Structure 1
Amino acid sequence: MSIQLRSRRGAIGKGWHAVALRSAAELLLGPGRASGGRADARAGRVQWLDLSPGRARGAVLGADGEVHEAQLDLAPLAGPDRAVVLRIARAHPELPARLASGAYPEEIERELAHEEVSLLPRGASELSHDCSCLDWPGPCRHVAALVYVLVESVDEDPTGLLTLRGLSLGDLIAPRDAAPAGDDEGTDGPGDAQDAGPDAPGPAGQGAVDPRRLDPAPLAAVIGEHPAALLASFFAAAELEDDEPEGTPPDPPTVEP
């Protein structure tokens, strides 16, 4: 079963992040391969697409009738770069919902750019390729077709960028009541985390958001007013429980006369 692109003419990929991915890949492909790849992708020659950390793979039906396995590589984020992404993402608790709904906010990428990090390839030098065909060194027409299927896939579902970079939506959600993990959160040590509140400066509080003080307004635009209000109410109730002094006896049961 082949993949049918929604785009039938013009540029493939409409969202800003899809355009950025396409632009970087086209620098790698060159005009001739890009044109052939667009035609093959629109003709449904890409049979399947699989995304994994660092790699997009697909089977492409060649003009010779053979199926070739093509791949495009983008290195997963690790070490300090991964920590930067987690810190910035967790400062925006609405981000997982927005990504899941098909939107990658450009302001997130601008914040990452200040730290010289990106979920997107920042040029052709960050991409590499391979194919089972004999067109070496390439990139071949099969890789080009895979690129355009990938671009449209990421346009519709930007969580594919997370997968390529070795991340998931769950990684972007800060664990509640968990001490910052030194390497992942960029802290200097456990002592720093003890004194830093949710709004305090420094590694533990820098850009951090306490979900118990969640403002439902940003979430309402994504998941609706009622679900956003329920989340805010839930976290507010949790805050009251956490602030109750230890040893406070429970309220006496109400006895009906």
Structure 2
Amino acid sequence: MKEYDNINTNKKILLNKMLDPSKFTTSYKIMWFYAIYKEMLSGHKKASIKKLSANMVSAAYYPIEHENLDFGKLDKLSDITFYLKNNLKIDTLENEDYICGYIMGSNDEKLNEMVIKLGKYVPYRLIRSFYDDFIKDKEYKICKKMPDAYINKYIQELNEEKDDIDVLYKINKNGDMIEFCESWIKYVMENKNSILYLIKHKLISYLETKNPNDNKIEFKLGRKLATDKNLSF
């Protein structure tokens, strides 16, 4: 039992590290983890990068387009939500599942291009915490900092090779699909309420830096839908 508690404590520490908003320039890591959280709660053991990116957009759509929350200048989620609202005429009150389904089924080239680009780097950056020691050791050996593109490639290699690391997920070689770690699925399912609270808290902390004069951010993240058991924020 003590060993099980230690494992959960380690996961909690890693989760807080992964979602530390003080190091973020965009909301991507928080929104990406929320997308993973939703897929796990739906009973899925893997998901495409595009599906998770679509989940990110669908979760951001209401707070950005209906509540006018600023996600930051470097955050491209607002570009996609703007396109959905103004070019594709998606109602700002549509729920997350509808928007995600719309994106996944759309043949709009520009929309697909933006969504695919969104998921190009964040899958690697979220799990960097699991490989920090390897990255630091590599940089020490080559006596310089590695550029982001090289770090992503190195994380991909480590993700494939290091089976002894209890990483959140594995990214396939094509970089278009991820498979969730069983132990993390179990952890999320057993702690789903506290984890959702943590996600909301981290997102609010991030958005407070972009919306300093708004004291009602927590009420603008989403709506509780009576027909949806997996509620939005």
Query: Normalized against structure 2, the TM-score is what?
Result: 0.25
Between structure 1 and structure 2, the one with the greater Rg is 1
Query: Normalized against structure 1, the TM-score is what?
Result: 0.23
